Amino acid sequence: MVMSLRVSELQVLLGYAGRNKHGRKHELLTKALHLLKAGCSPAVHMKIKELYRRRFPAKMVSHSELAMPGPHHPATAGVVGGGGAALPAGLTQLAYEGHAGHGGAPSPAALLPLSLLGPGKHEITGLTHHLSSSATLHPVHPDVKLQRLPFYDMLDELIKPTSLASDNSQRFQETCFAFALTPQQVQQISSSMDISGTKCDFSVQVQLRFCLSETSCPQEDHFPPNLCVKVNGKPCNLPGYLPPTKNGVEPKRPSRPINITSLVRLSTTVPNTIVVSWTAEIGRSYSMAVYLVKQQSSTVLLQRLRGKGIRNPDHSRALIKEKLTADPDSEIATTSLRVSLLCPLGKMRLMIPCRALTCSHLQCFDATLYIQMNEKKPTWVCPVCDKKPPMNTSSSTGFLWRFSTAAWTVMRSSSRRMATGPP
């Protein structure tokens, strides 16, 4: 119930309880949850119900939704207690061993230890009926595919691409998902932990992605408006807002995969919950998916590029002949083509000349520098034509590879320009 309140309502609640009401939404939400866990007066309970009814006037509030966190009652309506065993109302999917609904897959209640069920066991076991009844409200889109990420190898699909949908007509939507990890997946994540200083990184990660519900082609990452994500009741850090290009334009977040590994419970018995809230758009629908991925380095990607081999130089020769072929219908003809052996990115000599197969220009860029730059800030835009080539379409160009590794000689000299070897 508290998880669905907006910033203004959280400020009213904290001010009513005599707490500090300043801060960002996730900070206000944390203060409100601490207020509930510490125990509050019945007047504060009534204030929460009042704000919730004002937030959702057409929604009937059930008895389980009015329950507050206690020693034996798990928090409902998206509030996850400190023990992490509570499942929010409105749970839509439970994925076990990568696929929900497999034969022998345990029910949500079976995944929880009996000691955690307590007197509120009926609230969790009743989710099985809710999952089946809400299947039509939250259809899975098997045809929705997300673009492959070069720096991540997908190991498993924890939640298939699923449409973000809700059973009400409110502008602000909220839905819940859940998934469980297998022993093998827990082992993969745990063994990939790298603790350097005060930071803990994982090379095997649980990755959350959002995209448009389009089936025409693999989709890029695309965040819904006003996205807010909570994993196991904890707010998830999203990419920071980009500075607006014009005055008065609302800042936007760069859409990219979200690493939620640090918020995931590495347990095979307790499921992980994800609460997603966003603003609905007319004519647009979104999907979300959760993957288990392994992060790769620029060195590995460069080795894979080398493993593809060098493209036959005849392709470059054919492209040169095509550009130099005179068009009888045109009075302008190309008589020469100039290609630089300096990388347009680093202004240094090309070591591994590379260009996308979809690019029509001859100019290449250095593959090593290009991959390293995209490892820091992934844009994957051609530095020559500023076009975004499809993934897996870059190759080493044999013609320039052979030319750039040969000795440089003077081809023509003049008072203004001299083509010589490297300085």
pLDDT in tens, 74-117: 333 333 333 444 444 444 444 333 344 444 444 443 343 333 33
Statement: residue 368 has pLDDT above 80: yes
190 to 83, 187, 265, 293: CA distances (angstroms): 21, 5, 11, 13
Share of the chain above pLDDT 90, in %: 22
DSSP string, 183-197: HHHHHHHHHTEEEET
Lowest mean pLDDT among 1-10, 105-114, 334-343, 388-397: 105-114
Q: Name 346's Cβ contacts closer than 8 Å, sequence gap at least 6.
A: 366, 369
Instruction: Provide the residue type at 81 as one letter.
Output: G
Its pTM stands at: 0.60
> CB of 354 within 8 A of CB of 394?
yes
Domains of the chain, first to last? 1-61 (1.10.720.30), 77-242+250-295 (2.60.120.780), 298-323+337-404 (3.30.40.10)
pLDDT of residue 408: 54
pLDDT of residue 181: 94
Which residue from 111, 113, 107, 110 is spatially nearest to 129, judged by alpha carbons? 107
For residues 35-70, one letter each, b for 16 or more C-beta atoms within 10 angstroms of the residue's C-beta and e for the rest, the string is: bbeeebeeebeebbeebbeeeeeeeeeeeebebbbe
Element spanning 298, H or E: helix 298-307
- Is residue 93 a contact partner of residue 131, using CB atoms and an 8 Å limit? yes
Element (H, E) at 304: helix 298-307
**What's the rounded Cα separation, in Å, for the pair 359 and 393?**
10
In DSSP terms, 95 is beta-bridged to 179
User: What does the DSSP 8-state code read for residue 240?
Assistant: P
Quick: pLDDT tens for 308-324: 888 888 888 888 888 88
Measured distance CA(192)–CA(6) in Å, rounded: 37
